[in-house]
Amino acid sequence: MIQNYIVFLEYLNNKLEGFFNSQKDYIFCKKGCAKCCKNAQFPYSFLELQYLLKGYLQLDKETRDIISQKVDKIKEDKIKSKEDLFRYECPFLINNECSVYNYRGIVCRTFGLMENADNNIIKTPFCCYEGLNYSNVMDNNEISEDKVNKINPKNKPLAFNINHNLLTSEDFERGFNIKFGEKKPLIDWLTNEGIK
**Residues at the contact surface with ligand SF4, assessed by CB under 6 A:** 28-29, 33, 35-37, 42, 90, 92-93, 98, 100, 104-105, 108, 111-112, 125, 127, 132-133
Closest approach of ligand SF4 to the CB of residue 143, in Å: 16
Nearer to ligand SF4, 62 or 170 (CB): 62
- C-alpha pair distances (Å), 53 with each of 48, 101, 179, 193: 9, 12, 17, 12
Closest approach of ligand SF4 to the CB of residue 68, in Å: 15
Closest approach of ligand SF4 to the CB of residue 115, in Å: 12
CA–CA dist 180, 41 (Å, integer): 18
Closest approach of ligand SF4 to the CB of residue 102, in Å: 10
Nearer to ligand SF4, 132 or 178 (CB): 132
Count CA atoms within 13 Å of residue 14 on its CB side.
Answer: 5
> Dihedral sign, CA of 177, 175, 54, 162?
negative
Nearer to ligand SF4, 92 or 160 (CB): 92
Closest approach of ligand SF4 to the CB of residue 80, in Å: 22
Nearer to ligand SF4, 36 or 178 (CB): 36
Nearer to ligand SF4, 104 or 164 (CB): 104
